[in-house]
Structure 1
Amino acid sequence: MRPLLKMKALLSLFLLLVIAPIFVTSLNPSLNDDVLGLIVFKADIQDPKGKLVSWDEDDDNPCSWVGVRCSPRSNRVTELNLDEFSLSGRIGRGLVQLQFLRKLSLAKNNLTGSISPNIARIENLRVIDLSENNLSGEVPSSFFRQCGSLRGISLARNKFTSEIPASLSSCSTLAAINLSSNQFSGSLPPGIWSLSGLRLLDLSDNLLDGEIPKGIEGLKNLRAINLGKNGLSGQVPDGIGSCLLLRSIDFGENSLSGSLPENMQKLTLCSYLNLRGNSFVGEVPKWMGEMKSLESLDLSLNRFSGQVPSSIGNLQSLKMLNFSGNGFTGNLPESLNNCTNLSALDISQNSMTGYLPLWIFKSGTQKVMPGSKNIPLYTMKENAMQNLQILDLSDNAFSGEITSVIGVLSSLQFLNFSRNSLSGPIPGTIGELKALSNLDLSENQLNGSIPLEIGGAISLKELRLEKNFLVGKIPTSIENCSSLSTLDISENRLNGPIPASMAKLTNLQIVDLSFNNLTGNLPRQLANLPNLVSFNMSHNNLQGELPAGGFFNTISPFSVYGNPSLCGSAVNKSCPGVLPKPIVLNPNSSSDSSQSSLPPILGHKRIILSISALIAIGAAAVIVIGVIAITVLNLRVRSSTSRSAAALTFSAGDDFSHSPTTDANSGKLVMFSGEPDFSTGAHALLNKDCELGRGGFGAVYRTVLRDGRSVAIKKLTVSSLVKSQEDFEREVKKLGKVRHQNLVALEGYYWTPSLQLLIYEYVSNGSLYKHLHEGSGGIFLSWNDRFNIILGTAKSLAHLHQLNIIHYNIKSSNVLIDSSGEPKVGDFGLARLLPMLDRYVLSSKIQSALGYMAPEFACRTVKITEKCDIYGFGVLVLEAVTGKRPVEYMEDDVVVLCDMVRGALEEGSVEECVDGRLQGIFPAEEAIPVIKLGLICTSQVPSNRPDMGEVVNILELIRCPSEGQEELE
């Protein structure tokens, strides 16, 4: 059935395309060719927006269809305009049927494929506009051999390639040619100058090369020529001066050279001349002033030299003048004040000297002040440059002061005096420039303060005053510049605080206050700026805590460097807690408050204890109390241990079941797998010869099961803090179910009210700490060993975090190495045995190794999360790579590992941090990324630290970068 339907469909299409035209033409040849042609054209394209829904093949004529225009006399289609219809597909043969078509415009669509020469066969076609599509390939030479009465063609902004067909010169009726923004290559076809009726020629933004051919003088009707953005070389042809009707010339961004032909002065109708970005040399000819219709003159980025000719002042219609990027010297001619319509003046990047040309700011009769070094003085009259919007005098050698009369340039939007030798203060009249959006006075010798009036420039978006000698404070009035997005006042001598009013500038994106003498705290309100991408405050004297939130959570350390009194995550320095004011003690004071202080004339001295002294006294007191408490605790533990020793005196014939005993003296022993069978007694647990080490939770001993297998038994020394037996057993059983190749397995436990034991698998090769720091007691760890230890540790922590278990006690002594070199992390989850996660207990008992503790432990209001483990892991990474302890005490200094490595990274010497035992035998392409990962993990802000799963992925990518690249691809 389906093949039959398919055959019917094909037959219908055959009738439509072949037989129907013959039949319809025989009935009414003047009416239906257009309908048929447009329907066939529609069949080749896609119309996603349904713009052509009105095109109905059953209509008698298409004159009411969208985009179609017909002759009112003949009802034949004369214009097809489908611009911006979002059409795609190819231009088919259907349009050939439209024999009365005069204009075809399919611009700004998504049409693809090549251009068919059949289109030019339409005898009456005068305009073809296929611009701004995705047409590609070569333009066939035959396309222009049958161009009939074609007047204008635009193939601009497509993807056409190869050379421009020489047959283009056969279209003698052409008045406009636009082939711009394609990929045409080769040289200009010489025959193009034979098109005497040509008015517009645009071949810009292609790949054309070679010289401009001679013969251009034949184009007597030429109004506009654009050959810019190609690779044309040689000189401008002399004959161009004969094209007297020229109004626009654009030869910019080529490789043209030499001097300008003198007969160009005849082009008195020319209003636009662009020679930008070539290699023209010599002085600007004086005859340039004869081109009196010029409104835009761009000679920038060439090799012109000498002075700007005074004849330029004759161009009274001039609106834009750009001489930037040349070798001009001297000063601007005063005659330019005749160019009263000038709106943009750019003479930047030259070698011009002298004082700023005052005629820019005012007009009048020139006088010379006595003893003023010939500085011209002008009497005030109407401003000559009242229309000036852009003024760029940057990158020259102008000197002197910025005149206060600058405020008269009321239309100014862009002002750039940067990289000159200007001195003196910034005039307050800058604030009168209400339209000014960009102000750049950087890299001069300006002094004084930033004027308070700067707040009057309410349209400012960019303010750059860096590298001057400005002093004083940042004015609070800057809050009025509500559009400000860039503020750079670095490398000055500014002092005082950063005003809180800056927080009102919600559009700020880039702020640079570096290398000043700013003081005080950073306003916390700055954290509310929503669009910040950079805030550099380095090398000042700022103090206190960095604002929390927003951009400041991820601020780069480079942006805060050089402020020794700053604290917070970015500077890797914890902020001190809020401490009471210094205590004032008067030994002669009584309980009477009126006598709490005595005047100095009585001879009584006040004893003032500083905060540091109080901290020292408090610490000493805590140490004394701790010693007493530990002594009492040890006495209790020893007595309770002796009472329960009978319960642990196992002989060879002793046998223990999994069920707990009810004998108070024997306690409760549970093994998670196998029989609890020991070959030694309690003396092994208490014998220091069998001790493996001590930690925050207690001592660890080795003992041997009857089958010869060794186990490690941790005797907890926090009995008074351990939960009840029920809670203790529940938590231990949970930990006993945790299994991972990089975790030390918990195999059982023993309980009495006064003694608790945890039974672990025994790991034979000691700890990472031993191998890194105990000299001959450890073994040499190669780079590959260390990387595997780091990776295995990361995997174990990722597994724990998936089970919502926080380790709390990551350090190198808790990373054990088995006989095959694999790391096994121990002591995990022991904090769950405590009745509550008390900060003091965690910091003093569990996080006993200084340097691993995350900074949030010091703040009771911050939630303790897995990010604490990630901080400790980051320290361990740096320890493994450098071979140094987290904190090392020197004779007169304390070196914190994280700070040392971070400083080396900033100085570019991070490779020197790698363990000296590895020098010359480690891959830098792995070591440096691992160090950077460790620094990221030790970020002061918890949210900046990656998750352990991400850490594992990063490490695996560092080890096998090619695999990661394949994934990216």
Structure 2
Amino acid sequence: MSPTTLNLTFFSFLVITLFSTVSSDDLQILLKLKSSLSNSNPGVLNSWKVNSDHCRFTGVTCDSRGSVTEIDLSGQGLTGNFPIDSVCELKSLQKLSLGFNSFSGSIPIDLKNCTNLKYLDLGNNLFSGTFPDFSDLNQLQYLYLNNSAFSGVFPWKSIRNATGIVVLSVGDNPFDTTPFPYEVVSLKKLYWLYLSNCSITGKIPPAIGDLIELENFEVADSGLTGEIPPEIVKLTKLRQLELYNNNLTGKFPSGFGNLKNLTKLDASTNNLEGDLSELRTLTNLVSLQMFENGFSGEIPPEFGEFKDLMNLSLYTNKLTGPLPQGLGSLADFDFIDASSNLLTGPIPPDMCKNGKMKALLLLQNNLTGTIPENYVNCLSLKRFRVAENSLNGTVPNGLWGLPELEIIDIAMNNFEGSITADIKTAKMLGTLDIKFNKFSDELPEEIGEAKALTKIELNNNRFLGEIPSSIGKLKGLSSLKMQSNGFSGNIPDSIGSCSMLSDLNMAQNSLSGEIPHMLGSLPTLNALNLSDNKLSGRIPESLSSLRLSLLDLSNNKLSGRVPLSLSSYNGSFNGNPGLCSTTIKSFNRCVNSSGSHRDTRIFVLCIVFGSLILLAALVFFLYLKKTEKKERRTLRHESWSIKSFRRMSFTEDDIIDSIKEENLIGRGGCGDVYRVVLGDGKELAVKHIRRSSTDSFTKKNFSSSMPILSEKEGRSKEFETEVQTLSSIRHLNVVKLYCSITSDDSSLLVYEYLPNGSLWDMLHTCKKSNLGWETRYDIALGAGKGLEYLHHGYEKPVIHRDVKSSNILLDEFLKPRIADFGLAKILQANNGGLDSTHVVAGTYGYIAPEYGYSSKVTEKCDVYSFGVVLMELVTGKKPIEAEFGESKDIVDWVSNNLKSKESVMEIVDKKIGEMYKDDAIKILRIAILCTARLPALRPTMRSVVQMIEDAEPCRLMGIVISKESDMKIKEISS
């Protein structure tokens, strides 16, 4: 054998030996990795076996030498800690992809052994702690850390060495607040930059224009200020620009229209102004979102020629002029929302030309003309809302019966004609709101076939004829408003089958016949108005079983006795001369003519016995007066003024005489609370607020530098606020205020009495009850609906500002009522939903973080507090517990226990049965959304209630929470 041949043979032997060694080392490292993940999802790693070729392992890729170059285990449902430091021992590893799993724990500080990494994806996991310095990863090109739960300070300086990065995605992490990092604009090869929701503040630097390869730039949900820099027009390759929910000002820079490759543009919820003319040349737009800004001028007519535009949101601006008539006609148009502007002209006719449109929202404008006929062919349409315009004509027949339609809202226009029988095919229709128009004719019997209806508002139209009995088929109907029409005939008995009905108004019609006794069997009926009709006969005794906040039967032809239990609604029966009553002084007394002699004797006996009882009571009363003379001298000598808000069966003396120690049931920062039992057995709760003290009024757990009120000023303000707020609110889940009684030094508020105390009592005190999950769920849903009404259903939004479990009271059936509005604040219409207060009010543990340091009040403060209440219901814990650690609350504690499914299950209250724990976790997810640190990421109360309804126990439906559903549901009204 020649020397040359010998040398080649020896060299080949060395290479094979080296390759075998490398291959063996990589195999051992992978097997070590498998052992650490054995309790995660072992099925994924079944192919990872000792005597197998490691290059055939699931998710593993090798080079020609057998060295591992890639590990891709993304989306495999893996949990636990991932030993990244061990993986870095794979010397040739270039790609590590672990995204969309549930990995937790921290990342090792030392990443020096991962120097060959070009691709690192840890996004969409549950890691904790800070992300370490990665300066040694100088070959890194792709870095995905988005939505991975890292916190603290992000090592922006590490980017300086990774100049080859083309994708940087670190958004949706609670990093410490930082100005826009200048290190980013040094990455000249960058084409994907995702910085949304990771606490970026300040101005976008002009140097952003140097990133000429950039195709995707997202920095939404941040604290950006200033104007959009002119240099951004250099980014001619840009396809997506997301600036949503910042504090940007000014106009679009000149030349912005040169970004002709843009397909998605979102600058919504900022303070931008000017017109939209710079956007008229962006012909490749697919999605344009500009809502909640200050844009003015006309919508460029060129928008009607965009061939790819699928959705357009321009609501809440100052736009004028017509909508482009060709809008949506050239694309698979999905939705438009241009509500709350000053738009004029007709509705574009062809937005659903391709049959894909889901929502048409043009509320609160000055639109004219008719509804285009061809919308009857839009079978995909779910929401049709054009209320508060000047539209006219008839509604095309087929529109009433579109199969996917969920909302028809055409109120406050000049429509005429009738509702046609086509409505029988509207199987998904939930809301029919056509109030304040000129509709006429009879309601079709087929309306009963639209069985998904929950809300019907037909009031202030010109309808005639009888109310169809098929209304009784609408089992989910909660609100039926038909007042101010020309309906005649009887009220159909079938309405008694609408078991979910809470609000029924048929006032100002020509209805006749008797009031159906079946109305008294409606368990949730809260308001009943049948006034100004031609109803006759007796008032059904069955109405006595209802718990009504509003009853009005005035101006009819009713006769007979007013049921005794309804006497407190005495103003509700005026204009019925045939009625009589033994208690209402303005009515004739009821007599029995056939037995007048016997009645006289009975009357005399009653007088005698009554006198004896009165004498005994007088003696007892004088005894009590003597023992309580000192305590009550002040109250009796004050001059009182009473102001009623509901029907009352008591006087101010009944209340004042009950303010004594033996009736005391609670003391609070706003005053003492007494239980009052009236002579007829009715129970009331009275809050006594004294205004004579001069002691300072402070809130503990806040810095002494916060402004404070004197106790007199504070209580006076709380009293006035609570009266103003509660006096006009009518809702099943908000406590009833009957009246206020005031003097110079004291104030009394008289409420309904809730016998089961507060939710706090039930969960945390010696009165605690073993509440089952179904009851807890009902409390969560009821309280949520009460807050939803305050935020969305009232004339002006009402912010409670002190939502907590002790302010959620429970009636005899454990149904919740929102109470204690002493800190509530009605938002003025002209302040954009944002207000401030000079005093940080609320209760420690429930206060939203932004309120504590900025004193800014929004509805999202209440949402945060309600999220804490949901956590109490799920965990059984108080908002502040010693076990949470120093300066930690229940929100921190829950967040720290989201590392695995087992740890999440562990924090569910042990009193909740195993079969309901998954249901409880659904509510916990909602609570986590509600307590997001950034207010913009919290849902509205309307969305919260919807999610709670979707999480009903035993319903086979989960809650899907995604970035899109959390951030991108951009319609004016859900």
- Fold match by TM threshold 0.5: yes
Aligned length: 643
Q: Aligned equivalents of 2:404 and 2:42: distance in 1?
A: 45
Q: Give the C-alpha shift of residue 79 in structure 1.
A: 1.1
1:395 matched to 2:384? The reply is no
Secondary structure of residue in 1 paired with 2:168: strand
2:128 to 127, 133, 136: 136
Secondary structure of residue in 2 paired with 1:118: coil
User: Which range is displaced more, 129-138 or 621-630?
Assistant: 621-630
Contact 1:36 1:97 in 2 (8 A): no
Question: Where does residue 928 of structure 1 map in the other structure?
Answer: 751
Q: Aligned equivalents of 1:257 and 1:880: distance in 2?
A: 51
Question: Where does residue 592 of structure 2 map in the other structure?
Answer: 619
Change (3 A) 1:553 1:168: same
1:104 matched to 2:96? The reply is yes
1:482 to 451, 457, 465: 451
Question: Where does residue 788 of structure 2 map in the other structure?
Answer: none
Question: Where does residue 523 of structure 2 map in the other structure?
Answer: 553
Q: Aligned equivalents of 1:480 and 1:190: distance in 2?
A: 62
1:467 matched to 2:456? The reply is no
1:360 to 341, 349, 365: 349
Contact 1:560 1:571 in 2 (8 A): no
Question: Where does residue 929 of structure 2 map in the other structure?
Answer: none
Q: Give the C-alpha shift of residue 426 in structure 1.
A: 3.2
Q: Give the C-alpha shift of residue 110 in structure 1.
A: 3.4
Give the letter for the 2:137 counterpart: Q
Change (3 A) 1:436 1:879: closer
Question: Where does residue 965 of structure 2 map in the other structure?
Answer: none
Question: Where does residue 281 of structure 1 map in the other structure?
Answer: 273
Give the letter for the 1:167 counterpart: S
2:320 to 322, 329, 340: 329
Q: In the TM superposition, what whole-angstrom CA distance separates every residue of 1:841-877 from its partner, at most 9, and x where no partner exists?
A: xxxxxxxxxxxxxxxxxxxxxxxxxxxxx99988334
Contact 1:41 1:93 in 2 (8 A): no
2:297 to 291, 306, 314: 306
Q: Give the C-alpha shift of residue 186 in structure 1.
A: 1.3
Q: In the TM superposition, what whole-angstrom CA distance separates every residue of 1:441-470 from its partner, at most 9, and x where no partner exists?
A: 012233444344333444433322123343
Secondary structure of residue in 2 paired with 1:290: coil
Aligned 1:168-207 pairs, distance under 5 A: 168-184=159-175, 185-207=177-199
Q: Aligned equivalents of 2:157 and 2:251: distance in 1?
A: 30
Q: Aligned equivalents of 2:877 and 2:615: distance in 1?
A: 38
Q: Aligned equivalents of 1:154 and 1:197: distance in 2?
A: 19
Give the letter for the 2:748 counterpart: A
Question: Where does residue 250 of structure 1 map in the other structure?
Answer: 242
Contact 2:173 2:198 in 1 (8 A): yes
Q: In the TM superposition, what whole-angstrom CA distance separates every residue of 1:244-289 from its partner, at most 9, and x where no partner exists?
A: 322222222222222223333333222222222222222222x533
Q: Aligned equivalents of 2:403 and 2:755: distance in 1?
A: 48
Contact 2:455 2:479 in 1 (8 A): yes
Change (3 A) 1:512 1:912: closer
Contact 2:69 2:95 in 1 (8 A): no
Secondary structure of residue in 2 paired with 1:297: strand
Q: Aligned equivalents of 1:308 and 1:903: distance in 2?
A: 44
Secondary structure of residue in 2 paired with 1:265: helix
Change (3 A) 1:561 1:63: farther
Q: Aligned equivalents of 1:904 and 1:783: distance in 2?
A: 37
Change (3 A) 1:231 1:526: same
Q: What runs of 5+ residues in structure 1 fail to find an aligned partner?
A: 1-24, 363-382, 576-580, 583-609, 635-690, 701-764, 787-816, 824-869, 883-901, 935-944, 956-960
Give the letter for the 2:505 counterpart: M
Q: Aligned equivalents of 2:814 and 2:258: distance in 1?
A: 72
Change (3 A) 1:507 1:777: closer
Q: Aligned equivalents of 1:95 and 1:303: distance in 2?
A: 52
Q: Give the C-alpha shift of residue 81 in structure 1.
A: 0.3
1:222 to 214, 217, 238: 214
1:875 matched to 2:680? The reply is yes
Question: Where does residue 546 of structure 2 map in the other structure?
Answer: 570
Q: Give the C-alpha shift of residue 176 in structure 1.
A: 1.3
Question: Where does residue 271 of structure 1 map in the other structure?
Answer: 263
Aligned 1:18-33 pairs, distance under 5 A: 29-33=21-25
Q: Which has the higher contact order (CA 8 A, sep 6+)?
A: 2
Contact 1:181 1:206 in 2 (8 A): yes
How much identity, in percent, do the aligned residues show?
22
Give the letter for the 1:299 counterpart: M
Contact 1:217 1:240 in 2 (8 A): yes
Q: Aligned equivalents of 1:950 and 1:390: distance in 2?
A: 39
1:295 to 247, 269, 286: 286
Q: Give the C-alpha shift of residue 570 in structure 1.
A: 2.5
Give the letter for the 2:430 counterpart: K
Q: Aligned equivalents of 1:46 and 1:333: distance in 2?
A: 60
Contact 1:212 1:237 in 2 (8 A): yes
Change (3 A) 1:89 1:780: same
1:454 matched to 2:423? The reply is yes
Question: Where does residue 536 of structure 1 map in the other structure?
Answer: 504
Q: Aligned equivalents of 1:181 and 1:880: distance in 2?
A: 47
Give the letter for the 2:157 counterpart: A
Greater Rg over alpha carbons, structure: 1
Contact 1:107 1:131 in 2 (8 A): yes
Give the letter for the 1:474 counterpart: L
Give the letter for the 1:470 counterpart: F
Change (3 A) 1:228 1:873: same
Give the letter for the 2:349 counterpart: I
Contact 2:492 2:516 in 1 (8 A): no
Q: Give the C-alpha shift of residue 498 in structure 1.
A: 4.0
Give the letter for the 1:249 counterpart: L
Secondary structure of residue in 2 paired with 1:116: coil
Change (3 A) 1:45 1:155: farther
1:502 to 471, 478, 490: 471
Contact 1:389 1:413 in 2 (8 A): yes
Change (3 A) 1:536 1:161: farther
Q: Give the C-alpha shift of residue 232 in structure 1.
A: 1.2
Secondary structure of residue in 2 paired with 1:30: helix
Contact 1:256 1:280 in 2 (8 A): yes
Q: In the TM superposition, what whole-angstrom CA distance separates every residue of 1:13-47 from its partner, at most 9, and x where no partner exists?
A: xxxxxxxxxxxx99974245445544555666683
Change (3 A) 1:493 1:913: farther
Q: Aligned equivalents of 1:876 and 1:520: distance in 2?
A: 39
Q: In the TM superposition, what whole-angstrom CA distance separates every residue of 1:623-668 from its partner, at most 9, and x where no partner exists?
A: 556789999xx9xxxxxxxxxxxxxxxxxxxxxxxxxxxxxxxxxx
Q: Aligned equivalents of 2:608 and 2:266: distance in 1?
A: 83
Q: Give the C-alpha shift of residue 879 in structure 1.
A: 9.6
Change (3 A) 1:419 1:922: same
Q: Give the C-alpha shift of residue 86 in structure 1.
A: 4.7
Contact 2:67 2:92 in 1 (8 A): no
Q: Give the C-alpha shift of residue 911 in structure 1.
A: 6.4
Q: Aligned equivalents of 2:326 and 2:468: distance in 1?
A: 45
Q: In the TM superposition, what whole-angstrom CA distance separates every residue of 1:113-154 from its partner, at most 9, and x where no partner exists?
A: 3333434632332322222222233333x2244243443423
Contact 2:421 2:446 in 1 (8 A): yes
